[in-house]
C-alpha cells in the first residue's frame, strides 16, 4: 500500500526562554564575539537587533499572559467610602486602600508592580495622573486619568483637596487598567465634571459678560480667566461652570 507523507503545518516560533534568561544568553554571545578578531561587526549588529526584538516580544507576551491570568482572579470591590459632591446625597465609592488590600497580593503573585506620577496638562488647569504597570520580565504599560487641581467639596482645605484628587486619580487609573468592577460602579461624578463646558454653556458665559459690559461695568477678561484657571472660556470645565456663572452674576449685581 502506498503511504502519504504528512507535511506538518508551519508554526510561528515563539521564544521559550524568559527575557531574563535570553538577556544572559545574549551577554554570553557578545562576550564570545568580542574576543574573536574576525567577527563581522555589521552581521553581529543585525543579530543583536533581532535578538533584542525577540526579547521585547517575549516580555510583552509574558506581560499579556500574566495580565490575563490576573484579571480572572480579580474580585468585585464593595463601595465602603462615602463622598459629598455639594448635594444632600452622599455618593458611595470604593476606597483605594480597600482595592489595594484585596488586589495587590494578586498583582505581586503575577510579577506586577505599579507606580504613579503626575503632570500638568498643557493649559495648566488640570492634572494627569499616570499609573505605570511593570512586569518582572521587563515589559510595562501605562494608564492615566485627568483630575482637577484640587477638590474643595466637604470643606476641604487646599492640601486636603490636592490629596483627594490625587487619590481619586490613583484609584481611577488602577481600576480602569485592570478592569476592576466596583459594586454599583460610577465615577463619583469626577470624570464628567472634568469635561469642557459645551457650546450652550460657553454662550451663557459670553452673554453674561456682554450683559455686564452693556451696563457700563468694567470687565477684566484676564482676571476672570485667571480666576477660573484657564486660558480660554472654552477650557472651563463642567464642574466649574456654576462657579463661573456665580462669579459673573456677583459682578453684575455689584454694579461696579
One domain for residues 159 and 240: no
One domain for residues 123 and 155: yes
The C-alpha cell of 57 is what?
Answer: 516580544
Contact 125, 237 (CB under 8 A): yes
213 in any annotated domain = yes
One domain for residues 203 and 188: no
Contact 13, 56 (CB under 8 A): no
Of 193, 215, 241, the position where a domain reaches its end is 193
pLDDT of residue 161: 57
Contact 148, 193 (CB under 8 A): yes
One domain for residues 117 and 203: no
36 in any annotated domain = yes
6 in any annotated domain = no
The C-alpha cell of 55 is what?
Answer: 526579547
Contact 206, 233 (CB under 8 A): yes
12 in any annotated domain = no
> What digits encode the pLDDT tens for the residues 153-194?
555 555 555 667 888 888 889 988 998 876 654 455 555 566
29 in any annotated domain = yes
Domain that includes residue 57, residue range: 19-70
One domain for residues 102 and 161: yes
Per-residue DSSP letter, 216: T
pTM recorded for the entire structure = 0.56
Please give the tally of structural domains in the chain: 3
90 in any annotated domain = yes
Cα gap 144→128, rounded to integer Å: 6
Cα gap 209→233, rounded to integer Å: 11
Of 193, 221, 243, the position where a domain reaches its end is 193
118 in any annotated domain = yes
One domain for residues 85 and 184: yes
Of 193, 225, 242, the position where a domain reaches its end is 193
CA 6 to each of CA 3, 9, 13, 24: distance values in angstroms, whole numbers, following the listed order: 9, 9, 20, 38
**pLDDT by position in tens, the chain (length 256):** 333 333 333 333 344 556 666 656 666 666 676 667 777 778 778 877 887 888 888 899 999 999 999 998 888 776 654 444 334 444 455 678 888 888 999 999 999 999 999 888 887 777 889 999 999 999 999 999 888 776 555 555 555 556 678 888 888 899 889 988 766 544 555 555 667 788 888 889 988 888 888 888 888 888 888 888 888 888 888 778 888 888 898 888 887 6
Counted residue by residue, the chain has a size of: 256
181 in any annotated domain = yes
One domain for residues 88 and 168: yes
Amino acid at each position: 500500500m502506498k503511504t502519504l507523507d504528512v507535511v506538518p503545518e508551519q508554526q510561528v516560533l515563539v521564544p521559550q526562554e524568559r527575557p531574563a534568561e535570553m538577556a544572559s544568553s545574549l551577554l554570553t554571545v557578545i562576550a564570545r564575539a568580542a574576543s574573536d578578531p574576525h567577527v563581522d561587526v555589521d552581521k553581529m549588529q543585525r543579530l543583536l537587533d533581532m535578538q533584542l526584538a525577540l526579547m521585547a516580544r517575549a516580555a510583552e507576551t509574558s506581560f499579556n499572559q500574566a495580565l490575563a491570568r490576573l484579571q480572572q482572579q480579580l474580585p468585585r470591590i464593595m463601595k465602603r467610602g462615602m463622598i459629598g459632591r455639594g448635594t444632600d446625597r452622599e455618593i458611595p465609592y470604593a476606597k483605594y486602600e480597600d482595592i489595594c488590600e484585596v488586589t495587590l497580593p494578586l498583582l505581586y503573585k503575577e510579577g506586577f508592580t505599579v507606580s504613579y506620577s503626575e503632570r500638568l496638562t498643557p493649559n495648566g488647569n488640570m492634572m494627569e495622573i499616570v499609573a505605570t504597570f511593570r512586569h518582572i520580565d521587563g515589559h510595562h504599560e501605562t494608564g492615566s486619568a485627568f483630575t482637577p487641581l484640587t477638590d474643595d467639596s466637604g470643606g476641604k482645605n487646599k492640601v486636603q483637596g490636592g490629596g483627594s484628587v490625587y487619590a481619586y486619580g490613583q484609584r481611577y487609573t488602577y481600576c480602569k487598567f485592570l478592569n476592576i468592577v466596583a459594586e454599583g460602579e460610577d465615577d463619583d461624578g469626577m470624570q464628567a465634571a472634568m469635561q469642557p463646558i459645551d457650546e450652550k454653556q460657553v454662550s451663557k458665559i459670553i452673554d453674561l459678560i456682554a450683559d455686564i459690559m452693556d451696563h457700563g461695568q468694567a470687565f477684566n477678561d484676564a482676571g476672570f480667566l485667571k480666576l477660573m484657571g484657564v486660558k480660554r472660556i472654552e477650557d472651563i470645565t463642567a464642574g466649574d461652570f456654576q462657579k463661573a456663572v456665580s462669579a459673573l452674576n456677583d459682578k453684575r449685581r455689584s454694579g461696579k
